[in-house]
Amino acid sequence: MKIRRSALFLVLLSVLILTAGVYTTSNCPGYDFFYRGAVFNAMFPDGDDIYNNLTPIVESNNNLSWQVEGADKRVLMVAWTKYPSSYPIGQSIKTSWGDTWVTAYPEVKNYFTAHPPSGGDPRLEVAQLLGLPPDTNNSYFVELWVKPVDLFRPSADNEINDTVAQLYFPDNTDISYKIWFLNNTRYSYFTKRLPWTRLGYTYHWENPESKVGLSEFVIRKNSEVTVKSLSSTSDYLKH
């Protein structure tokens, strides 16, 4: 099995290099090797990559922040973005532009409280934690109140109320979600070169001890959310 997997890896790697070129960054060349390795490794998850302590989005999870609006309960989620004008503070908006990838509040803050940025611009360290390219233009953190029904885990096993995501689709998986999943596989690995784990957590590509970053979720396109706050990356990590 290991030999077959290695052979498949080499074939796919060759195809990627021949058809799309090798990922490089103009301003972070020293990190290209690590980032490329993360992207290639993320293509081939196995049982050893499953993480059993994902964040569950359930009311009994006291680590989350909840808001009650009438009969609706919303959970506070956090996106890292380069489009601050899309998020007017205090207003309800529709995510008409597409899916929005988020983490649960306060996991980003908790991580950087335990691992303070080394100094200077902290965006590189955020990109490493969230599995994004080292030259990303994302510069703002936005906190959003979101209905749990509008969230899913970007995994074949997309439930948000448990602590583990399996490698394969459950028997009752909707065909539309399978199509989304396959399209995002192509988009992540071949178009954008992103180390999407497909297992419910971000790929921490600069951590030699573990590639498990933070639990990640997706807000569905056209969801109604409320903007709680918008901060620059450096300001957000200070508070």
Residue 31: the pLDDT is: 87
Residue 62: the pLDDT is: 95
Burial (CB < 10 A; 0-12, 13-18, 19+), residue 182, is exposed
The rounded mean pLDDT for the chain is 90
If you average pLDDT over residues 176-182, what whole number do you get?
Answer: 98
User: What span, in angstroms and rounded, lies between the C-alpha atoms of 30 and 32?
Assistant: 6
If you average pLDDT over residues 123-149, what whole number do you get?
Answer: 98
Considering the entire predicted model, what is its pTM?
A: 0.89
Amino acid identity of 120? G
Structural domain spans, the chain:
2-238
- Asked whether the predicted pLDDT for residue 25 surpasses 60, the reply is no
Work out the pLDDT band at 80, boundaries 50, 70, 90.
very high
- Asked whether the predicted pLDDT for residue 19 surpasses 50, the reply is no
User: What span, in angstroms and rounded, lies between the C-alpha atoms of 202 and 212?
Assistant: 6
If you average pLDDT over residues 126-145, what whole number do you get?
Answer: 98
The tokens of 20 are what? 């799309």
If you average pLDDT over residues 198-223, what whole number do you get?
Answer: 97
Work out the pLDDT band at 170, boundaries 50, 70, 90.
very high
The tokens of 87 are what? 């998020």
Q: At what angle do helices 107-114 and 123-130 cross, to 10 degrees?
A: 120
Residue 56: the pLDDT is: 99
- Asked whether the predicted pLDDT for residue 10 surpasses 50, the reply is no
| Cα angle, residue 94 at apex, residues 88 and 99 outer, rounded to 5° | 105
| Strand ranges in 43-131 using DSSP code E only, listed in sequence order | 66-69, 72-81, 92-94, 100-104
Helix (H) / strand (E) containing 53: none
User: What span, in angstroms and rounded, lies between the C-alpha atoms of 107 and 55?
Assistant: 9
Residue 104: the pLDDT is: 99
CA atoms within 13 A on the CB side of 202: 27
pLDDT tens, 182-210? 999 999 999 999 999 999 999 999 998 99
For the chain, percent of residues with pLDDT exceeding 90 = 82
Residue 28: the pLDDT is: 60
Residue 198: the pLDDT is: 98
Q: Are 171 and 163 in contact (CB under 8 A)?
A: no
- Asked whether the predicted pLDDT for residue 6 surpasses 90, the reply is no
